[in-house]
Amino acid sequence: MSDQLRPRASLRTAVVWEVLKDALERRVKATGREALDVLDTGGGTGNFAVPVARLGHRVTVVDPSPNALFALERRADEAGVADRVRGVQGDILGLFDVVERNGYDAVLCHGVLEYVDDPAEGVRNAVDALRPSGALSLLGAGLGGAVLARALAGHFTEARQALTDPDGRWGAGDPVPRRFTAGQLSALVTDAGVEVGAVHGVRVFADLVPGVLVDTEPGAMDELLRLEAAVAELPAFHSVATQLHVLGEKRA
Ligand SMILES: C[S@@+](CC[C@H](N)C(=O)[O-])C[C@H]1O[C@@H](n2cnc3c(N)ncnc32)[C@H](O)[C@@H]1O
């Protein structure tokens, strides 16, 4: 696929997808089962759920949005995995009204914690849905990335506001209700009974680079993807990432 045709969406998902795919492979080996039971809390339209189902796993998506679930159903159908994707309307804070405890080999919680009233309860529920030794994949908005982005856009007061606001918001117009540091996310999962395996910084440069450069410069997209992959695991870059990914294993 040429650089021009490569979906820019891969810049948002590539690092997390590689980490998640490896974690699922490890669960397949550990459990001896080819098809895992995967729960995607706040899975939305299936950015991750559909590719996970394409690997052969059974995916349950819990999301409060009927529109998202409708789009998910269509997408799963188009991808030929409708029989392996189940959409359920529900809330991560009332997770066990709609799914069972201790029923999943892997639980995804991507881009959800920033929107829930009680992130600690959200993480506890995600972990309680896991079988012992199950994999938790948690993705949350990073505080430092937002500070950097506001500052580079010349909004210095907002950058400082995000830095000092208890929820990491840059002002009343900020569309994201809450942001996290890597330490905060790691503490949330550790407190919920998960051993942290890896922390990755996601979209360290992707949102700061002018789109025209990536879209028109030959090879630039591939190089940027490689750069993102190279810095993702380096703790020094976690503090400026737009998102932070924590991969962990539920303590047996
Ligand atoms: C930014 S989207 C992320 C979608 C998907 N996880 C992904 O990574 O592409 C946030 C999703 O969380 C869902 N959501 C919001 N509040 C939620 C809650 N309390 N419980 C579960 N899902 C929620 C929204 O409906 C939306 O689909």
Task: Say what the pLDDT of residue 8 is.
Answer: 67
On the question of pLDDT at 1 being above 50, the answer is no
Q: How far is the CA of 2 from the centre of ligand 1 (A)?
A: 31
Residue 14 vs residues 17, 192, 197: alpha-carbon distances, Å: 5, 27, 18
More confident residue, 101 or 212: 101
Query: Which pLDDT band, with edges at 50, 70 and 90, does 218 fall under?
Result: confident
Residue nearest to atom 14 of ligand 1 (CA): 42
Task: Say what the pLDDT of residue 205 is.
Answer: 94
Which atom in ligand 1 lies closest to the alpha carbon of residue 115? 16
Residue nearest to atom 9 of ligand 1 (CA): 47
Helices 220-232 and 9-31, axial angle in degrees (round to 10): 50
Task: Say what the pLDDT of residue 6 is.
Answer: 44
- CB 170 less than 6 A from any atom of ligand 1: no
What's the pLDDT tens digit per position in 30-57? 999 999 999 999 999 999 999 999 999 9
- CB 91 less than 6 A from any atom of ligand 1: yes
Share of the chain above pLDDT 90, in %: 88
- CB 46 less than 6 A from any atom of ligand 1: no
Burial annotation 26-61 (CB, 10 A radius, 16+ → b, else e): ebbeeeeeeebbbbbbbbbbbbbbbbbbebebbbbb
Q: How far is the CA of 43 from the centre of ligand 1 (A)?
A: 6
Residue 200 vs residues 6, 13, 51, 158, 163: alpha-carbon distances, Å: 23, 12, 20, 26, 21
Residue nearest to atom 12 of ligand 1 (CA): 42
On the question of pLDDT at 83 being above 80, the answer is yes
Query: Which pLDDT band, with edges at 50, 70 and 90, does 9 fall under?
Result: confident
- CB 45 less than 6 A from any atom of ligand 1: no
